[in-house]
Amino acid sequence: MVMKGVFIWLCSVAALAFSSGHVSDQQEAAECAWTAQHTAGLLQSLRNVTDHLLKQQLKDVSGKNATGQQEAAECALSPQQTAALLQSMRTVTDLLYKEQLKECPEAEVPDNGGLACVTVNNKRYCKPMCNYGYDFMFMRRSRLYEECSKETGYKWNTQYIGGNKLAVCNKEPTQVSGASSAYFPKDRDCLTTKTQHLDSFIDSITAEIQSQGILGKPENACLLCGRP
């Protein structure tokens, strides 16, 4: 039942809500997939559950609803605990909303290529890459990584005006617009690299970002592939 599922979910998050009012940093941008859209979804879910919990708080669980009594007993929350949990969830919701206002948008992954991304000192860096036989529309030999951070107003400092497009990979017989490390080898396109050589690739990205004079511990490094 939906009601039972909600109560079980509330039981599972109660310990988290009471132990900490903050979302774990380790859950942020897991495998490059956590984006502003994910935060918005989580924020809406928390709002929905908070609204439901408020209704339950106002609802008189009596003998007229034996199922409701059983579900409440399973969760074993007293009115005081329910009020405290409701306040904790409101606090988490407020924190998420504030974080949502200062998040980098998801960068567009170029077709026939990919994005190699890494975070250093709360700054997100992404390097556009093209598969063999494709080249960038603009010259970017000295522009390996694009940045999104507080300093950039949480916008990507891309060569394209507006939006989140960092690069375009056009079919070309020669590759001259980017640095040598911005291209996947002939026998190893983005998808092949991601499925068969990801560990060594991530190692090379973290080493490269440090060689660019970007100091700090590289975190949440990942590879995203566009459509072939």
Domain endpoint, select from 100, 123, 143 = 100
Residues 121 and 184 in one domain: yes
Same domain, 117 and 177: yes
Contact between 186 and 178 (Cβ < 8 Å) = no
Q: What is the pLDDT of residues 181-204, one digit of tens each?
A: 999 999 999 999 999 999 999 999
Encoded tokens for 91: 């606090």
The pLDDT score that the predictor gives to residue 176 is: 96
Could you tell me if 72 and 7 lie in one domain?
yes
Which tens digit of pLDDT belongs to each residue from 73-118? 555 567 777 777 777 777 766 555 444 445 889 999 999 999 999 9
* Nearest-angstrom CA–CA distance, 120 and 188: 27
CB 81 within 8 A of CB 110: no
Distances (CA, A) of 161 to 155, 157, 167: 11, 9, 11
Q: Is the pTM of the predicted complex or chain greater than 0.85?
A: no
